[in-house]
Amino acid sequence: MSWLIYLVRACAAGLIVLTGFVFLLACAFSKDASWMMYGISSVIAVGGLLSWPRRPNAWRRDPPTMRQIEYADHLGIAIPAGVTKGQLSDMISEAKGEAPQRL
């Protein structure tokens, strides 16, 4: 199913870029500068489209933050090399006696 989402997203991004170039081309042949605004905003919209939708627990694969590492050190947790943000979050929850929170 995830390949279908990426395919639809890539097609939509291509369509938006094409539309943006059409607006920029219309601006070149028109004296109305508002077409440029439409073209630039269409191209900028692609950045938001390419980062959407993010998987629900994608943050768990990110590297841990410095504040998270400092808090784990304060709790006396031995942090293994290559630990992810989600793994360290689970380790902190266990050290505090709480159940790890999974979304």
For position 77, what pLDDT does the model report? 92
Overall domain count for the chain: 2
Q: Does 8 lie in the same domain as 43?
A: yes
The CA distance from 67 to 88, in Å, is 11
Q: Does 48 lie in the same domain as 6?
A: yes
Is there a domain that residue 102 lies in? Answer: no
Is there a domain that residue 10 lies in? Answer: yes
**CA nearest 9: which of 58, 55, 70, 41?**
55
Q: Does 64 lie in the same domain as 39?
A: no
For position 74, what pLDDT does the model report? 93
Q: Which domain holds residue 67?
A: 60-95
Average pLDDT, consecutive stretches of 10 residues, N- to C-terminus, the chain (103 residues): 69 73 71 69 66 69 92 93 92 85 60
Cis-peptide into 56, omega within 30 deg: no
Q: Does 87 lie in the same domain as 47?
A: no
Q: Does 35 lie in the same domain as 8?
A: yes
